[in-house]
Amino acid sequence: MNQRIEEIFQKEKPASVLLVCGGSFHRQKMYQDLLETATAAGARLTEFSEFEPNPKYESVVQGVETFLAKQCDFIVAAGGGSAMDVAKCIKLFWNMDRGQNYLTQKIVENNVKILAIPTTAGTGSEATRFAVIYEKGEKQSVSHPSCVPQYVILEPELLVSLPEYQRKATMLDALCHAIESYWSVNSTNESKEYAKEAIQEIFKYQDSYLHNEKEGNDKMLHAACTAGRAINVTQTTAGHAMCYKLTSLYGLAHGHAAALCVEVLWPYMTAHQEDCVDVRGSSYLKEMFQELAKIMGCKKTEEAIRRYQELLKKLALPNPVLKEEEDLQILKTSVNPVRLKNNPVRLSEEILEGLYREILNEKN
């Protein structure tokens, strides 16, 4: 059995555990470790896997019903961002009024704890107070400090079977978290240190990770978690605000879409620093971009942007091509204005349309 899991079960002594996981987790040795540990600890373990990527509100409601029916007192979230988001929402919603929409109610902190076991190195959800679910096709952001998992196990063995595309996309998601956190108007000295560490680890171990080596998998898991700690302070910015509808319209993985958005945002912002909305001012903005370049091992901002672009080219993740002109209207009006407020440079709908045209190979 896994020693870390044993230690957590011995400390918490759960009577009934809800395991929120994707189907692929069943093939992992850690799944058997969980079953054996629960049995040895005399804890009942109930699985909940009735959710999809970009999980729906209705799936969370079903998870809450399962949690209550089985009288659960502890949650294990094993999987990627979707499993983490569902688990967090179940934790936040289970003690609410079941007769009303949970999203409209005030969150009241409860004592149910979460053990997070990420099976991808990307979302950093195991370190954040945020969860994303969808209601009637619309993205809903849920946030509360109490849903940050109390326990996290980072096991590189869980990444061995990760498909190549997901391996690349999740690494880019972690990188975008760190970059966006660094330039966010909400950045602090603490968040910048987390972002710096994550960026440098990602670039240092990218090849080992892409070759599915144990050290690379281990380091990338920790880098993604560290990037999660950064966005837990700052939240994401326009890069992530722009990527959600792009993901659903063009069938891209979340990290792939986010990376394409950051690719066009970065040069735009450096060229329009006069539109700075960060209260620290345009001189701070210029200095910040220079710091970011240095973190990436570059002397100038332009070099850092090129290094980022070279990484995307190396990963061979293509840009989608615009299918319908009306897609641009859908995309530019789908962007969360709150995330735009976190962005250091002002962006209008007109500018967003231009950026989307670049992403969708419509640069003219």
- Nearest alpha-carbon partner for 265 in 153, 133, 356: 356
Provide the pLDDT for residue 53: 87
pLDDT tens digits, 67-125: 999 999 999 999 999 999 999 999 999 999 999 999 999 999 999 999 999 999 999 99
Provide the pLDDT for residue 364: 42
Residue 106 sits at the vertex; the CA angle it makes with 104 and 112, to the nearest 5 degrees, is 115
- Residue 96 phi/psi, 5-degree rounding, is -90, 175
Give the separation between CA 41 and CA 59, rounded to whole angstroms: 29
First to last CA, the chain: 59
Can you tell me which residue has the tokens 């299918």?
Answer: 323
| DSSP category for residue 137 | T
**In contact, 187 and 152? CB cutoff 8 Å:** no
b/e code 276-294 from CB counts within 10 Å (16+ = b) = bebeeeeeebeebbbebbe
Provide the pLDDT for residue 1: 59
Provide the pLDDT for residue 80: 93
Give the separation between CA 81 and CA 65, rounded to whole angstroms: 21
- The burial class, CB within 10 Å (0-12 / 13-18 / 19+), for 232 is buried
Strand partners, 48: 20
Strand partners, 143: 130
Give the separation between CA 45 and CA 75, rounded to whole angstroms: 10
Provide the pLDDT for residue 363: 55
- Nearest alpha-carbon partner for 172 in 213, 134, 122: 122
Give the separation between CA 133 and CA 123, rounded to whole angstroms: 14
Provide the pLDDT for residue 22: 87
pLDDT tens digits, 271-289: 999 999 999 999 999 999 9
**In contact, 113 and 153? CB cutoff 8 Å:** no
Provide the pLDDT for residue 63: 98
b/e code 47-75 from CB counts within 10 Å (16+ = b) = bbbebeebbbbebbbbbbebbeeeebbbb
Query: What crossing angle do the helices spanning 238-250 and 254-271 adopt, rounded to 10°?
Result: 140
Provide the pLDDT for residue 322: 95
Kindly give the parts of the chain with pLDDT less than 70. 1, 362-364
Please tell me the total number of residues recorded for the chain in this structure. 364
